[in-house]
Amino acid sequence: MVKNTGKVVGVNGNMVAVEIDGHVSMNEVGYINVGDRKLKSEIIRIRGDRAEMQVFEMTRGIGIGDTVDFTDELLAVELGPGLLGQVFDGLQNPLPKLAAQCGFFLDRGVYLEALDQEKTWEFTPEANVGDRVECGITLGSVPEGMFRHRIMVPFNLHATYTVKRIAEKGEYTIKDTIAELTDEKGNSIPLTMVFQWPVKRAITAYKERLKPVEPMVTKIRLIDTFIPVARGGTYCIPGPFGAGKTVLQQITSRNAEVDIVIIAACGERAGEVVETLKEFPELLDPRTGRTLMERTVIICNTSSMPVAAREASVYTAVTIAEYYRQMGLNVLLLADSTSRWAQAMREMSGRLEEIPGEEAFPAYLESVIASFYERAGLVRLKDGSEGSVTIGGTVSPAGGNFEEPVTQGTLKVVGAFHGLSRERSDARKYPAIHPLESWSKYPGSVDKAITEYGRALLYRGNEVDQMMKVVGEEGTSLPDYIVFLKGDFLDSVYLQQDSFDPIDASVSTERQRHIYNVIFDVLSSTFSLESKEDARSFFNILRQKFLDYNGTEWQSDEFFRLEKEIEEMIHQKKSGIEANAQEIVKSSEAGDEQ
Ligand SMILES: Nc1ncnc2c1ncn2[C@@H]1O[C@H](COP(=O)(O)OP(=O)(O)O)[C@@H](O)[C@H]1O
Ligand SMILES: [Mg+2]
């Protein structure tokens, strides 16, 4: 088949205008011939016989008249065994291999195989000759790390087929044919363990989408208890520079109860990404004791790479996430930072001279953000098993102003909002998520009545705090002062969490439920405290004991000993139950008896 060609007629930064010969389609990939190099590019607009292409490489040296070879294919990734543990750039080049071949400064126009071509995998057939199959149906599997990697009918085969031949159990490379299907007309379709999928198209080879309701446990108390994320849901973490977005995502990638983590690092600084790359492979998985990298894929771009590659990386990441979801796994995709991606869109839109929207972002910014987050989801697969992709993206608005278009566009589509606060990070209150401004639409794992009570108390405590800044402590009544102390207690022993403490860093749902009940006892009780001095000292001691309690191993002797001390301390001073807590206490006691 003759592929279409074109000729460069204009260069504008990372965008090249091409006069085309024949028919091309939107998002089709083409290679610009610059000397003996071929620079990968994607069509982002077609008008008549002229197309605009974004180039995924530095455009230096491209000249008018250079030829372009179109591929008749959309920007795609390779899906197959061997993705886990890898570090790719936005075009799925394995970075360590690329660096080995080209040195530290990556060459333009060098594209490597994403997956190891020589490695063999132990294939076990699961389908039988004669089976009627369609896209997404499992033909066999290979072990990949701790997972059973399903080898499926490629998602781009849209009819029903018959299995004509399937390989015997044994060792095969990804290039070997492991099955042969025949279509209705009797055409034979040989299959290997890999196939390509266009990154900008969602994978839908499942039976149905389900509503995400089960929590995606992060082991971060503030999140799981107050602003939970659902498995298959979406959330965003906006925050000013240095507030802790990247650290929060790193902690989450280590501790979250998911099978696979995909990290899309569109770095703020080149150094930051290098840090991630150096640190990550050395981290151990708290659950298996093996390296965390075994169940992680990193897609990485720094701000020094061309903007188009940054855009591609987000789509490459979500496509790989969807692929593993098709295997009945729970995948978490963390994108940091989506603002860099939005800026890439802004740059390209400017070059296309489109009519700009707010802050010069393209008018379609919101719909692009929405269609990215829509690729999250909990699905029932064709074999009845469930898989999920949860997406969490950071946003880094200039000056920490959440009113800007990327934060606002993201807020409209996500199910939970974890806003980081400069005030809290300056005070080193980590994680610096603002407990009052953040929200979630998902159900959590701690009883709602008692968490809502805690939240209301935080509001009131904050009000008293604001008031005290004006009228001073002397001008504040003792009951108000106690409300303030309770809010501060909840904040310091529960919302804040030490991510460097081996125990405190990750807290199971069971433990969260357990200790939050002890905290609720404190929040809902009235105490016989004579003076502010008295109250302050009582809460100081209680806080210290609780922090020690947080540092003990779950259900150890020391854990129960400290718990007993805390309970005794509460009961010595307890004089009753707050009026607004009586209903909750009654119903929770009734619940206990059932
Ligand atoms: N949970 C945390 N515990 C302790 N220190 C933190 C935490 N989160 C952030 N920090 C500190 O703040 C710095 C900046 O955090 P980072 O995640 O890089 O910010 P951002 O990505 O929002 O710009 C970190 O280098 C670290 O010193
Ligand atoms: Mg960061």
Could you write out the DSSP letters of every residue in 553-568? PTT-HHHHHHHHHHHH
* Maximum CA extent, the chain: 90
pTM of the model: 0.94
CA of 310 to the centre of ligand 1 (A): 23
Q: What is the token pair recorded at 315?
A: 């789509």
Beta carbons of 14 and 308 less than 8 angstroms apart: yes
Atom 16 in ligand 1: residue holding the nearest Cα: 244
CA of 320 to the centre of ligand 1 (A): 28
Q: What is the mean pLDDT of residues 412-432?
A: 97
Beta carbons of 322 and 389 less than 8 angstroms apart: yes
Distance of alpha carbon 87 from its chain centroid, rounded? 16
Taking alpha carbons only, the member of 528, 520, 519 closest to residue 573 is 528
Which band of pLDDT confidence, cut at 50, 70 and 90, is reported for residue 268? low
Residues 6+ apart with CB under 8 A from 355: 363
Strand, helix or coil at 179?
A: strand
- Give the position of tokens 């855009």: 311
Strand, helix or coil at 583?
A: helix
pLDDT for residue 267 is more than 70: no
Does ligand 1 come within 6 angstroms of the Cβ of 395? no
Number of H helices, E strands in the chain: 15, 28
CA 421 → CA 295, 399, 457, distances in Å? 31, 11, 19
CA of 241 to the centre of ligand 2 (A): 7
- pLDDT tens for each residue of 442-498: 999 899 999 999 999 999 999 999 999 999 999 999 999 999 999 999 999 999 999
pLDDT for residue 416 is more than 60: yes
> Which residues sit with Cβ closer than 5 angstroms to ligand 2, an ion?
245-246
Categorise residue 460: left if φ over 0, alpha if ψ from -120 to 50, beta otherwise. Answer: alpha
**Rounded to an integer, what distance in angstroms lies between the CA atom of residue 371 and that of residue 373?**
6
Strand, helix or coil at 551?
A: coil
pLDDT for residue 106 is more than 70: no
pLDDT of amino acid 594: 46
CA of 246 to the centre of ligand 2 (A): 4
Does ligand 1 come within 6 angstroms of the Cβ of 499? yes
pLDDT of amino acid 89: 87
Atom 10 in ligand 1: residue holding the nearest Cα: 244
Does ligand 1 come within 6 angstroms of the Cβ of 242? yes
Does ligand 1 come within 6 angstroms of the Cβ of 431? yes
* Of the candidate ranges 88-102, 158-172, 248-262, 423-437, the one whose mean pLDDT is the lowest: 88-102
**Rounded to an integer, what distance in angstroms lies between the CA atom of residue 407 and that of residue 398?**
11
Which band of pLDDT confidence, cut at 50, 70 and 90, is reported for residue 371? very high
Does ligand 1 come within 6 angstroms of the Cβ of 243? yes
Atom of ligand 1 nearest to the CA of 498: 3
CA of 197 to the centre of ligand 1 (A): 36
CA of 246 to the centre of ligand 1 (A): 7
Ligand nearest to the backbone CA of 501: 1
Q: What is the token pair recorded at 9?
A: 């007629």
Q: Is 399 exposed, middle or buried (0-12, 13-18, 19+ CB in 10 A)?
A: exposed
pLDDT of amino acid 303: 63
Beta carbons of 197 and 76 less than 8 angstroms apart: yes
pLDDT for residue 378 is more than 50: yes
pLDDT for residue 35 is more than 50: yes
Atom of ligand 1 nearest to the CA of 420: 22
Atom of ligand 1 nearest to the CA of 244: 17
pLDDT of amino acid 73: 93
Does ligand 1 come within 6 angstroms of the Cβ of 245? yes
User: Which of 222, 237, 247, 422 for mutating ligand 1's site (highest number of atoms within 8 Å of CB)?
Assistant: 247
Does ligand 1 come within 6 angstroms of the Cβ of 244? yes
Q: What is the mean pLDDT of residues 554-576?
A: 97
Does ligand 1 come within 6 angstroms of the Cβ of 554? no
Ligand nearest to the backbone CA of 337: 2
pLDDT > 90 fraction of the chain, expressed in percent and rounded: 80
Q: Provide the β-strand partners of residue 173.
A: none
Q: Is 211 exposed, middle or buried (0-12, 13-18, 19+ CB in 10 A)?
A: exposed
Taking alpha carbons only, the member of 169, 176, 75, 76 closest to residue 117 is 176
CA of 337 to the centre of ligand 1 (A): 14
Amino acid (one-letter) located at 318: V
CA of 430 to the centre of ligand 1 (A): 8
Atom of ligand 1 nearest to the CA of 243: 22
Does ligand 1 come within 6 angstroms of the Cβ of 239? yes
CA of 493 to the centre of ligand 2 (A): 26
Q: Provide the β-strand partners of residue 8.
A: 18
Residues 6+ apart with CB under 8 A from 581: 453, 523, 524
Atom of ligand 1 nearest to the CA of 336: 21
Q: What is the token pair recorded at 312?
A: 């591609």
User: Are β-strands 37-47 and 28-34 bridged in parallel, bridged antiparallel, or unpaired?
Assistant: antiparallel
Please name the residue ranges forming H helices in 472-556. 478-490, 509-524, 532-550
Does ligand 1 come within 6 angstroms of the Cβ of 267? no
C-alpha radius of gyration, the chain, whole number: 28
